[in-house]
Structure 1
Amino acid sequence: MLKFCTLFNSAYLSRGLAMYHSLAKHCDDFHLYIVAFDEDCCDALLALQLKHVSVIALKDFENEALLAVKMGRTPTEYCWTCSSSTIKYCIETYQLDHCTYVDADLLFFNNPKVLYEEMGDQSVLITSHRFTPCFDQSATSGIYCVQYLTFKNTAEGMTALNWWVDACLEWCFCKMEDNKFGDQKYLDDWTTRFKGVHVLEHLGGGVAPWNIQQYSFKLKGGKVRGTALSGKTDFDLIFYHYHAFAYTWNNSYRLTDETYPLTKSQIKLIYKPFVLALLKAETEVEALGEHVRAYKRTEEGIWINRVIGRALVFFLRGFYKQYYSKRFFQYGIFN
Structure 2
Amino acid sequence: MNNGFCVILTKDRLYQGIALYRSLIHNVKAMKFNMYILCIDEDAYSILKQLNLVDTTVFHISEIAEESLIQKKIERRANEFCWTMKPVFLQFILDRYPHIDRVTYLDADLCFFSDPAAIFFDAPHADILLTIHDFVDHLRHAENDCGRYNSGFISFRRSPTSENCLRWWKENCLIWCYDRTENGKFGDQKYLDLMPHIFSGVSEIKTPGVNIAPWNQSKFKFSIQNSSVYVNNSPLIFYHFCGLRIVNSAQIALTLTESSLISIIHTPYFHILNDIINSISAIRPGFQGYFIEEGRVAVAKYYPLKM
TM-score by length of 2: 0.91
**1:242 to partner: Cα distance:** 0.3
Structure 2 Cα separation of the partners of residues 58 and 236 of structure 1? 36
Which amino acid in 1 is paired with 2:82? C
Matches within 5 A, 1:1-335: 1-28=2-29, 29-95=32-98, 96-136=100-140, 137-227=142-232, 234-248=233-247, 251-257=250-256, 259-262=257-260, 267-290=262-285, 294-296=287-289, 298=291, 300=293, 324-325=302-303, 334=307
**1:203 to partner: Cα distance:** 2.4
Structure 2, unmatched stretches of 5+, are 296-300
Report percent identity of matched pairs: 29
Which amino acid in 2 is paired with 1:34? I
Matched position secondary structure for 1:51: coil
**1:255 to partner: Cα distance:** 2.5
1:35 touches 1:61 (CA, 8 Å); kept in 2? no
Structure 2 Cα separation of the partners of residues 255 and 274 of structure 1? 13
User: Residue 298 of structure 2 aligns with which residue?
Assistant: none
Which amino acid in 2 is paired with 1:287? A
2:15 touches 2:289 (CA, 8 Å); kept in 1? no
Structure 2 Cα separation of the partners of residues 280 and 164 of structure 1? 37
Structure 1 Cα separation of the partners of residues 236 and 248 of structure 2? 31
Q: Quick check: which has more Rg, 1 or 2? A: 1
Q: Deviations over 1:99-118 (max 9, x none)?
A: 00000111100011111112
**1:25 to partner: Cα distance:** 0.3
Structure 1 Cα separation of the partners of residues 245 and 223 of structure 2? 25
**1:280 to partner: Cα distance:** 1.3
Structure 1 Cα separation of the partners of residues 249 and 167 of structure 2? 44
**1:277 to partner: Cα distance:** 1.0
Q: Deviations over 1:74-101 (max 9, x none)?
A: 1111111111111111111122222000
Q: Give the ranges of 4+ consecutive aligned residues of structure 1 lying more than 4 Å apart after TM superposition.
A: none
1:141 touches 1:184 (CA, 8 Å); kept in 2? yes
Q: Deviations over 1:38-66 (max 9, x none)?
A: 11111111111111210011110212231
Matched position secondary structure for 2:221: strand
**1:299 to partner: Cα distance:** 6.6
Which amino acid in 1 is paired with 2:89? T
Which amino acid in 1 is paired with 2:188? D
**1:256 to partner: Cα distance:** 4.0
Structure 2 Cα separation of the partners of residues 44 and 301 of structure 1? 27
RMSD: 2.1
Number of aligned residue pairs? 298
Which amino acid in 1 is paired with 2:258? Y
Structure 1 Cα separation of the partners of residues 194 and 16 of structure 2? 31
Which amino acid in 2 is paired with 1:109? F
Structure 1 Cα separation of the partners of residues 34 and 47 of structure 2? 18
Structure 1, unmatched stretches of 5+, are 228-233, 303-322
TM-score by length of 1: 0.84
